[in-house]
Structure 1
């Protein structure tokens, strides 16, 4: 995780889960800032403190990271279950 701030246990757990996801196979280190920003916005949405723009940014980043069905479709990604 970026060393720019202190991350909560919840944020660290979300970080680990995201980097274990099938989508993370398509990410390289250049995705680190986007994943970190997604986590900041997502935690604010989850705890009810997010502004409307934060919720919108979370949705936008989620799509760009392939974390939503629409985002995966736009990126041409398919997760194969074996």
Structure 2
């Protein structure tokens, strides 16, 4: 008979999820001054940094989120190509902003655990 799985093992794929707070209360960092940002990009920046996932980001994530915002702007204004769209999806997943990213990082929203 096979050995029973131990969900508490540090190597278990069944280990507990990290619950993200709905309101983390952290400040929204300033957008990098690399270029002029549109109003839609400013709003999206704020939304991402106020998301529960941002509770696990620090200042070192600013360039990554800004790069994703650049791709987001290209998607919105219709100038994106397949590479921009692919990079946007990849960054969104790696930052935990997609369902797949949340699952890979072992995160859950309050009330979903």
Q: Which runs of 5+ in 1 are unaligned?
A: none
Residue 55 of structure 1: how far off its partner (Å): 0.2
Greater relative CO (CA pairs within 8 A, separation 6+): 2
Q: Cα RMSD over matched residues? A: 1.3
Q: Select the residue among 80, 87, 95 that pairs with 1:57.
A: 87
- The equivalent of 2:63 in structure 1 is 33
Q: Select the residue among 4, 8, 12 that pairs with 2:42.
A: 12
Q: Which runs of 5+ in 2 are unaligned?
A: 1-30
- The equivalent of 1:73 in structure 2 is 103
> Is the strand fraction higher in 1 or 2?
2
Q: If the length of structure 2 is used for normalisation, what is the TM-score?
A: 0.68
- The equivalent of 2:7 in structure 1 is none
Residues matched between the structures, number: 82
> Is the helix fraction higher in 1 or 2?
1
**SS of aligned partner of 2:108:** coil
Structure with max Cα Rg? 2
